[in-house]
Amino acid sequence: YPTVNVIGAGLAGSEAAWQIAEAGVPVRLYEMRPVKQTPAHHTENFAELVCSNSLRANGLTNAVGLLKEEMRRMDSVVIGAADKTAVPAGGALAVDRDTFSQEITSRIKNHPLVMVVNEEITSLPEGITVVATGPLTSEALAEAIQEYNGSEGFYFYDAAAPIIDKSTIDMDKVYLKSRYDKGEAAYLNCPMTEEEFNAFHQALVSAEVAELKAFEKEKYFEGCMPIEVMAGRGIKTMLFGPMKPVGLEDPKTGKRPYAVIQLRQDNAAASLYNIVGFQTHLKWGEQKRVFRMIPGLENAEFVRYGVMHRNSFMNSPELLKATYQSVNREDLFFAGQMTGVEGYVESAASGLVAGRNAARLAKGLAPITLPRETAMGSMAYYITHAEGKHFQPMNANFGLLPELPERIRDKRLRYEALAERALEAQTAYLK
Ligand code: FAD
C-alpha cells in the first residue's frame, strides 16, 4: 500500500496514525515539536493535553461518555491510554497528563508501520494525507490551508486554568467530595460565604487582564470561557457555572455553602490541582492576588498560571465531507479541532474516522461514514451540514443525534435509550 502522511501528532493525528498503521498501511507522521513549539504545548510528547487533564464524562448517559465507548469499540489508542492512566475524578475520565501522553507516544513510535519525522510542514503534501495540526497550526501551514481552501480561517483566543501545588493548600479550609457524592470523593472544595463571594466577584471583574493583539477577535469556546469574562456577565453567573454549590454540602456543617470553587487532581501523584473552570486571561500577578482570596488558597503556589492562546478552525460545512475528506481533493483529509469539532475526545474521534478512511483509500476501499445515530457519526454530520455562515465549533452532545421514535420524558432514561441505540447502530454498521 502507498504510505499515508499524517501531519501533527496531537489528539487527532496520533489517533489517525494509529488507525492507519493498525489497518496495515504504512504511515509517515510529521510532528514539529520539539523543533518548533506551539504557544500552549510544553513537551515533545504526542497527544499532549494543553489545558485540563479531564477528558470529561465517562458514563453512557453523557454524549462524550458515549463517544468514548464508541471509540473503545474501534480500538482507540487515545481512549486506551486514558483508561490506563486514569486518576480519580468522580464520574469523569481524567488522566495523569504525562503518563497519558507517554503511553500514546511509545505505542505509536514502536509500531513497525509508523515512521516519525520531527519537522514543521509548511505546504500541503501530495499523496494521501491527513492534516491534523490543531487549533495552533503553525503560521506557514495555516496560510497554505487558507490558500488551498480559498476561504478565511478564523482566529481567536482560548484560555487555560491555573495549576496549584497541593502542599500549599490550607487543608483545614477545604473538603474532599464529588458533586452529589458521585463516584469516589475526588475534588477539593473551597466553600465561600456570600460576603466572601461578593468580594471575590468584585476583585475578579476589576482585575487587570493581559492585552489582546489588535488583529485577534475575542471569541471563546463556551466550555472554556475565561472566568473573568463569565463574572462580567453578571454577579450570579458564576453561581450557575463553575462556582455552583449544589450537591457539595460541607461535611463539617452539613450545609450547602453560598458558592464553591472546586480543585481537580491534575497528576497521578496528586501533588497538583487545577481550579476547575477557571481558565483565565488575567495578568499573572493579578491571578495570584485574586485567586488567593479563595478560602484555602491564601498561600497557594501557582505552578502554572492560566494563559490565553490562539485557536483556528475551518469552515467545514463548505469545505469538508462527512468522511473528513476535502471536497476538492479526495486524498486530502482534515481531522481534529481544526475541522470544528471541539474538545480532546472529539478531536481524537475525528482522527479515528479520518485515519480509517485514509487507510481504506490506500487499500482501494470505499470510505466509511458512521450512522448519524452514533456520537461519532452525528459530529461528522454536524460539522459538514451546519450553516456555513455562522459555523461554530461543537462538543459531542445528544442534541446532535436524531430524535428517538418514542418520546421519553425522563432525561436520564432518554439518554440511556439514545446511547443504546447508538451502540447498536455502530455494531451493525461495522459488521
Ligand atoms: P493538537 O492536539 O494541538 O495537535 C496538533 C499537533 O500538530 C501539535 O502536536 C502541533 O505541534 C502539531 N503541528 C502544528 N502545526 C504543525 C506543522 N505545520 N507541522 C507539523 N506539526 C504541526 N479541549 C478540551 O477538551 N479540554 C480542554 O481543557 C481544552 N483546552 C484547550 C486549551 C487551549 C489553550 C487550546 C488551544 C485548546 C483547548 N482545547 C481543549 C481544545 C482541543 O480539544 C485541543 O486543542 C486538542 O488538543 C485538539 O486536538 P488536535 O489534534 O486537533 O490538535
Cα–Cα distance for residue pair 347/367, rounded to 1 Å: 19
pLDDT of residue 215: 40
Distance 101 CA to ligand 1 centre (A): 13
Assign 241 to helix, strand or coil: coil
Report the chain's mean pLDDT, rounded to a whole number. Answer: 91
pLDDT higher than threshold 60 for residue 250: yes
Q: Which atom of ligand 1 is nearest to the CA of 119?
A: 20
What value of ipTM does the predicted structure carry?
Answer: 0.99
Residues 295, 193: Cα–Cα separation, whole Å: 10
Give kind and range of the element (H or E) at residue 375: helix 375-385
Measure the CA–CA gap between 84 and 104, rounded to whole angstroms: 11
How far, in Å, is the centroid of ligand 1 from the Cα of 388? 23
State the angle between helix axes of 77-84 and 63-72 in degrees (0 to 180), rounded to the nearest 10. Answer: 110
Of all protein residues, whose CA lies closest to atom 1 belonging to ligand 1? Answer: 10
Q: Alpha-carbon distance 358 to 73, whole Å?
A: 19
| The pLDDT value given to residue 183 | 85
Q: How large is the angle between the packed helices 344-362 and 77-84, nearest 10 degrees?
A: 140
Q: What is the pLDDT of residue 222?
A: 52
Beta bridge partners of 312: 155
Interatomic CA distance for residues 378 and 375, integer angstroms: 5
Reported in sequence order, the residue ranges of 160-220 that DSSP labels E, i.e. its strands, are: 163-165, 175-177, 187-192
pLDDT the model gives residue 146: 86
pLDDT confidence of residue 345: 98
**244 pLDDT more than 50:** yes
pLDDT in tens, 292-338: 999 999 999 887 788 766 667 888 988 999 999 999 999 999 999 99
pLDDT for position 51: 82
Q: Is the CB of 311 under 6 A from ligand 1?
A: yes
- pLDDT tens, position by position, 27-44: 999 999 999 998 889 999
Q: Are the beta carbons of 317 and 346 closer than 8 angstroms?
A: no
Q: Is 131 in the pocket of ligand 1 (CB under 6 A)?
A: no
User: Is there an atom of ligand 1 within 6 Å of 52 CB?
Assistant: yes
Whole-angstrom distance, CA of residue 94 vs CA of residue 55: 6
Q: What's the whole-model pTM score?
A: 0.78
Position in ligand 1 atom list of the atom nearest CA 140: 18
Q: Indicate if the alpha-carbon torsion angle 215, 218, 219, 224 is positive or negative.
A: positive
CA of 159 to the centre of ligand 1 (A): 13
What pLDDT score does 143 carry? 87
| pLDDT of residue 100 exceeding 90 | yes
Q: Is 95 in the pocket of ligand 1 (CB under 6 A)?
A: no
Q: Is 402 helix (H, G, I), strand (E, B) or coil?
A: coil
285 CA from centroid of ligand 1 (Å): 27
Give the count of beta carbons closer than 10 Å to the beta carbon of residue 350.
30
CA of 307 to the centre of ligand 1 (A): 15
Between 221 and 26, the higher pLDDT residue: 26
pLDDT digit string, tens, across residues 325-348:
999 999 999 999 999 898 999 999
Q: Is the CB of 13 inside a 6 Å radius of any atom of ligand 1?
A: yes
Q: Is 286 in the pocket of ligand 1 (CB under 6 A)?
A: no
Ligand 1: which of 136, 266, 313 to mutate, judged by most atoms within 8 Å of the beta carbon? 136
Question: How many angstroms is it from 135 CA to the middle of ligand 1?
Answer: 5
330 CA distance to ligand 1 middle (Å): 24
CA of 119 to the centre of ligand 1 (A): 17
Rounded to whole angstroms, the Cα distance separating 28 from 65 reads 31
pLDDT digits (tens, 9 = 90+) for 149-169: 885 655 555 567 888 989 899
- In whole angstroms, give the CA distance from residue 382 to residue 325: 15
Tell me how far the alpha carbon of residue 345 lies from the centroid of ligand 1, in angstroms: 11
Q: What is the pLDDT of residue 19?
A: 98
The per-residue pLDDT for 304 is 79
> What's the confidence (pLDDT) of residue 214?
45
**Contact assessment for residue 270 and residue 166, using Cβ atoms and an 8 Å cutoff:** yes
Number of the ligand 1 atom closest to the C-alpha atom of 14: 51
For 386-419, write each residue's pLDDT tens digit. 877 667 677 898 888 998 999 998 989 999 999 9
Best residue among 145, 324, 337 to mutate for probing ligand 1, ranked by most atoms within 8 Å of CB:
337
- Residue 340 Cβ inside 6 Å of ligand 1? The answer reads no
